[in-house]
Structure 1
Amino acid sequence: MSLAIAFAASDAPSAQAALAVLSARYGDAPEAEADVIVALGGDGFMLQTLHRTQGLDAPVYGMNRGTVGFLMNGYLEGGLVERLQRAQEEVLNPLRMHATRSDGSEHVALAINEVSLLRQGPQAAKLRITVDGRLRMEELVCDGALVSTPAGSTAYNYSAHGPILPIGSDVLALTAIAPFRPRRWRGALLPKSAHVRIDVTNPERRPVMADADSRSVRDVVSVDIRSAPEVAHRILFDPGHGLEERLIREQFA
């Protein structure tokens, strides 16, 4: 069985070198006509590729030419067609961020990993958190807060001491970043269906930016976050090395 493969590569020299070798060996189909898209780079480039190709039918298979490569498979030049035919598919639903800025403008973006709010200046942010229309925290004084999907739970969320979430758990993590008050608040686990609203109090003196998978919006006054189940990102992994196994393994590292 032949496969039409489209290659995409980051600007890193190692990724560009791999692109030249692999496209010469396997051909390089247009993405709109491909059976599968092979992304060469790191996790950041994989996220970019998933966002960019979300309207296409082809799943994305990553090969690591970056640093961490949590969303990537190992890099090998040989046997690629056979690896793609054996690969197992995971489906990821992103978060939808709806951010309102102080000038009244509104910005919508999707995030496969997390939506985060971060202080924009030297002073700590003051945030008010509402879940499903019910006020849950009147004031969180912190460097920021984030809502993470299971796929993103080992990224920024984990660095902020948030929990690792199993794939398929239908749970989101709400995690504080360097909380000052309440100092011992460890965040919350929320159902995937939850609608989280975070309001910025005193945004003039304590400005805050919002970020969805590295796409940033400055001077936000409120951010609404909820899952987007109608959007499905298809990602391929070698057998035995899928996201579920990686998330479990990470907890014993």
Structure 2
Amino acid sequence: MNQSAPPPTSTESKAVATRKLAFVASETDEAQRALAALSERYGNVDADEADMVVALGGDGLMLQTLHAHMASCKPIYGMNRGSVGFLMNEYREDNLPDRLAKADVTTIRPLELTALDEDGNEHEALAINEVSLLRQTSQAARLRISVDGKVRLEELVCDGIIVATPAGSTAYNLSAHGPILPITAQLLALTPISAFRPRRWRGALLPNGAQVDIEILEADKRPVSASADHTEIRRVTRVSVRESTRAKGVIMFDSDHGWDERILSEMFRY
């Protein structure tokens, strides 16, 4: 526990009395120390009883926490105690209730993945960041891509392909040279991974209401896996991806360093 942390002020105590906070943390020592310090200072209730959840860790923990609370739409506020923190706010122990009261609230619509595997089994999963298809062997994948029922690319030979939300556009999508999308953009990024043919195809921007259907050609010879955030399905033969109209995650950012500012900073990073 951080012994140097001062006791809560009267203002903080009053704010805490009206807000029930649930703290969750990754397993790192740094995150666990933060959990102990903040729990003692502000109290820590079960997530089911909380008004909001404070996640202490990196982006991986934030994704897990958003997935866990999509059904309740409970707001999630993250503080960075991990190695990657694009989805997280700066860690500070002081004035947390005031920061929460002033935070900007953003609603994220996840992607719905429906995948058919080689045995004919259907799988469903949600993705806050992206749905990605990846080759499973040394041979490149061969994919046929349709948008809203119309074939747009008869054959894409590649290592894989990504369908990314605005929230996920700065993650795997950006590493694959896909576009960064403002969080309020009603768009999805369709980004190839190491496209071999057509070599010059760089992907597409799609309306967020579009449905993307991907058929794996020669699936037995060139197996492909599909992943929705942390959920993986092996040896898929057909995949459908669309934005969910039912599920949503609620994320909070400090008003002086909100999502739009993070996106702009990332766009001008060199």
Q: TM-score w.r.t. structure 2 length?
A: 0.92
Conserved in 2, the CA contact under 8 Å of 1:197 and 1:223?
yes
Deviations 1:192-248 (A, max 9, x none): 000000110001111000000121000000110000032221100001212122111
Partner of 1:252: 268
Alignment of 1:156-167 (within 5 A): 156-167=172-183
Deviations 1:127-150 (A, max 9, x none): 010000000011100000010001
Partner of 2:112: 96
Counterpart of 2:242 in 1: which secondary structure?
strand
Alpha-carbon separation, structure 1, partners of 2:151 and 2:21: 49
Partner of 1:30: 46
Alpha-carbon separation, structure 1, partners of 2:236 and 2:198: 22
Shift of 1:57: 4.3
Partner of 2:194: 178
Partner of 1:67: 83
Partner of 1:8: 24
Alpha-carbon separation, structure 2, partners of 1:242 and 1:206: 42
Partner of 2:151: 135
Alpha-carbon separation, structure 1, partners of 2:113 and 2:248: 16
Partner of 2:235: 219
Shift of 1:56: 2.1
CA RMSD of aligned residues (A): 0.9
> Which one of 252, 255, 263 corresponds to residue 236 of structure 1?
252
> Which one of 74, 85, 88 corresponds to residue 58 of structure 1?
74
Runs of 4 or more above 2 Å deviation: none
Asked if 1:148 corresponds to 2:192, the answer is no
Conserved in 2, the CA contact under 8 Å of 1:119 and 1:206?
yes
Amino acid at match of 1:125: A
Deviations 1:148-205 (A, max 9, x none): 0011101000000000111111000000000111111000010000000011000111
Alpha-carbon separation, structure 2, partners of 1:71 and 1:196: 26
CA gap 1:126/1:57 in 2 versus in 1, 3 angstroms:
closer
> Which one of 193, 199, 206 corresponds to residue 209 of structure 2?
193
Aligned residue pairs: how many? 253
Asked if 1:82 corresponds to 2:137, the answer is no
Alpha-carbon separation, structure 1, partners of 2:117 and 2:150: 22
Conserved in 2, the CA contact under 8 Å of 1:151 and 1:243?
no
Counterpart of 2:124 in 1: which secondary structure?
strand
> Which one of 117, 134, 139 corresponds to residue 133 of structure 2?
117
Unaligned runs of 5+ in 1: none
Counterpart of 2:255 in 1: which secondary structure?
coil
Partner of 2:10: none
Alpha-carbon separation, structure 1, partners of 2:265 and 2:73: 30
